[in-house]
Amino acid sequence: DAKTTQPPSMDCAEGRAANLPCNHSTISGNEYVYWYRQIHSQGPQYIIHGLKNNETNEMASLIITEDRKSSTLILPHATLRDTAVYYCIVRVGGLENSGGSNYKLTFGKGTLLTVNP
């Protein structure tokens, strides 16, 4: 099981912020939240990951609620090239936890984000 729930699709206007939600109500204390995206006909691309603090990099920001049961990926200024399927994944992090089934990067169906001109 993917252990996350995402809306199947979302639309966003070019230049506006895209806010992609993800529910992970059964997340464990040692599980991280990862986001990947997949542009049509390409392999998935890593975006960002976090444990409990908000994270930001050159691609996006990740906001995790205090109870860690949900998170939001924010693309601050969406462009047409951001049209893709976005996957929210929870998995155990840390080298000491690299074994077992909960180590796997298990993809669900994700959210198809369409950025419109």
Question: Using CB under 8 A as the criterion, which residues of the chain lie in contact with another protein when the complex forms?
Answer: 2, 36, 41-46, 49, 85, 87, 93-95, 98-99, 101, 103-110
- For another protein, the closer of residues 14 and 93 by Cβ is 93
Please name every residue paired with 38 in a beta bridge, in sequence order, or none if there are none.
85
Supply angle C-alpha 89, 94, 100, rounded to 5. Answer: 70
Supply angle C-alpha 52, 64, 67, rounded to 5. Answer: 75
CB of 2 to another protein, least distance (A): 7
CB of 44 to another protein, least distance (A): 5
